[in-house]
Amino acid sequence: MQPTAIVLCGGRSSRFGSDKTRAPLQGRPLLDHLLDALPGTWPIVAVGPPRRTFRDTTWVREEPAFAGPLSALAAGLADVATPTFVLLGGDMPYAARAAVALSDQLSHAPHDVDAVLARTPDGRPQPLLLAGRTEPARVALPPDPVGASLMSWARRLRCSAYDVDDAAAHDVDTPQDLAGPPDAPTTVEG
């Protein structure tokens, strides 16, 4: 069974100065690069203010708005009907290939593994790039996720790590980040 992609795209984009997911990258909105590169059979639940995309997407919003990424994840998980999901940041245009690999790793992992967490080349865990089993992920949510960190939630899961490259883990926080990391593809899939 295919996972559901939960894409978090409802932050303030304060360092960027405007909604970064709508910023142009190679002539198209940043968010569309990620959504279009995900497998077409994956349902997508995007958390944030609804916007037009070229991909069929279910939009939900955390309450209150801007309550943090864990609140956004909780809102997204509430709409997931599949046994597994993949969590992605909407500002990660090169993450789709890694998302597929994480999902594949999870499908082959022992059943006592709740999630497969991306690990960047410098050894840091990247909780905005993770494949997980839906029910254990819901159980691990705190009663009030407002303001709580994604890592605090991930630490409550039994995770294995999966190494990703700089491009997969690259997120856009400033306009300069649109240039991508040195190993970024010259064209974004999609």
Is the distance from CB of 91 to CB of 21 less than 8 angstroms? yes
Distances (CA, A) of 178 to 24, 70, 119, 124: 9, 25, 22, 22
Say if pTM beats, i.e. exceeds, 0.75. yes
pLDDT in tens, 16-48: 666 788 877 888 888 998 999 999 999 999 999
pLDDT of residue 70: 95
Residue 121 lies in a domain: yes
pLDDT in tens, 98-138: 999 999 999 999 999 999 999 999 999 999 999 999 999 99
Q: Distance (Å, rounded) from C-alpha 102 to C-alpha 86?
A: 8
Number of domains in the chain: 1
92 lies in which domain range? 4-179
CATH classification at residue 18 = 3.90.550.10
Residue 118 lies in a domain: yes
